[in-house]
């Protein structure tokens, strides 16, 4: 069965970086994309960006351009999301999700990881 | 950028009742590239509907989606206790709506 298992909770200071992993299993990793979505406490869902597991192409949300990098390691079927220059308003649960299309970010998200809480606090 | 608006913000209904949730886009959504997700407290979202009207794998047929262009609807024909949750619409791969909470009356 398809599973996305994310790394554990993180606590970071303002200005630091965080890197969250998402290990996929149960499907051919390179046949899909991975999107990242975050949810601040008590708030809605915010799309952060997408990476093709096939060729590494990316598309990031404009507000995060320059602070976020998404990568994949096809040898371990793992996707990574790194966010730099953390601020208090980056405190959120970060989700990875399988995108139905490896060619484009314009796709639906059919499987989700369990979420990783990132807390930014001095 | 397309902005999605969902209404109502909260819908208070009883089990067995019909729920009708609305999602309106600020511009036409291409080729019905619209999805619906359900999220329960402390859980990740779950895909319900894609392509505006296609049910995802394993989703009960009491859930249905309709609409095109700028106006989309998610209908739950008869609410089961497990359906009380927050529902989000999304333009494929990007913008989410703010959500509609369906709670028990």
**pLDDT, tens digit (0-9, with 9 covering 90-100), for A19-42:** 999 999 999 999 999 999 999 999
- As a whole number of angstroms, the distance between CA B15 and CA A6 comes to 35
pLDDT digits (tens, 9 = 90+) for B39-77: 999 999 999 999 999 999 999 999 999 999 999 999 999
Within 8 A of B92 by CB-CB distance, chain A residues are 106-108
- Res. A101: pLDDT tops 80: yes
pLDDT at B32 over 90: no
- Specify the pLDDT at position A25: 98
Q: How many CB atoms lie within 10 A of CB B40?
A: 13
CA distance B93 to chain A (A): 5
Judged by average pLDDT, the poorest of A14-23, A112-121, B92-101 is: B92-101
The whole-angstrom separation of Cα B39 and Cα B48 is 10
Interface test with chain B among A22, A60, A101, A108, by most B beta carbons within 10 Å? A108
Environment class of B88 (CB within 10 Å of its CB; exposed 0-12, middle 13-18, buried 19+): buried
Kindly determine whether residue A45 and residue B56, on different chains, have CB atoms separated by under 8 Å: no
User: What is the reported pLDDT for A102?
Assistant: 83
* Candidate from A46, A106, A113 with C-beta closest to B44: A113
pLDDT digits (tens, 9 = 90+) for A41-92: 999 999 999 999 999 999 999 999 999 999 999 999 999 999 999 999 999 9
Angle, CA B44 vertex, CA B65 and CA B98 arms, to 5°: 55
Residue B31 has pLDDT above 80, yes or no: no
If residue A79 lies in a helix (H) or strand (E), which one and from where to where?
strand A78-83
Least confident piece of the model among A78-82, B10-14, B30-34? B30-34
Q: Which residue has the higher pLDDT, B92 or A96?
A: A96
- The greatest distance separating any two alpha carbons of chain A, rounded to the nearest whole angstrom, comes to 41
pLDDT band per the 50, 70, 90 thresholds, residue A98? very high
**According to the model, what pLDDT value does residue B80 have?**
97
What is the predicted pLDDT for the residue at B25? 95
Residues of A in contact with B99 (CB under 8 A): 44-45
- So what's the pLDDT on residue A80? 98
Give the pLDDT confidence score for residue B92 in this predicted structure.
86
Check CB contact of A6 with chain B, cutoff 8 Å. no
Provide the shortest C-alpha distance from residue B36 to chain A (in Å).
9
């Amino acid at each position: 069965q398809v599973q996305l298992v994310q790394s554990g909770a993180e606590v970071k200071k303002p200005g630091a970086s965080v890197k969250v992993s998402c290990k996929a299993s149960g499907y051919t990793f390179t046949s899909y994309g991975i999107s990242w979505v975050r949810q601040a406490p008590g708030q809605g869902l915010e799309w952060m960006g997408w990476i093709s597991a096939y060729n590494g192409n990316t598309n990031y949300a404009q507000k995060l351009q320059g602070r976020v990098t998404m990568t994949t390691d096809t040898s371990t079927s793992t996707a990574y999301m790194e966010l730099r220059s953390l601020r208090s308003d980056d405190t959120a649960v970060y989700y990875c999700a399988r995108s139905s299309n490896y060619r484009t970010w314009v796709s639906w998200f059919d499987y989700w990881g369990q979420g990783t809480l990132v807390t930014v606090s001095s | 950028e397309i902005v999605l608006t969902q209404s109502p913000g909260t819908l208070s209904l009883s089990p067995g009742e019909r729920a009708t949730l609305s999602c309106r886009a600020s511009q036409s959504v291409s080729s019905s590239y619209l999805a619906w997700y359900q999220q329960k407290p402390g859980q990740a979202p779950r895909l319900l509907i894609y392509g505006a009207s296609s049910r995802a794998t394993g989703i009960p047929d009491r859930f249905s989606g309709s609409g095109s262009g700028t106006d989309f609807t998610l209908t739950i024909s008869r609410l089961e206790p497990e359906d009380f949750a927050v529902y989000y619409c999304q333009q494929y791969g990007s913008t989410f709506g703010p959500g509609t909470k369906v709670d028990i009356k």
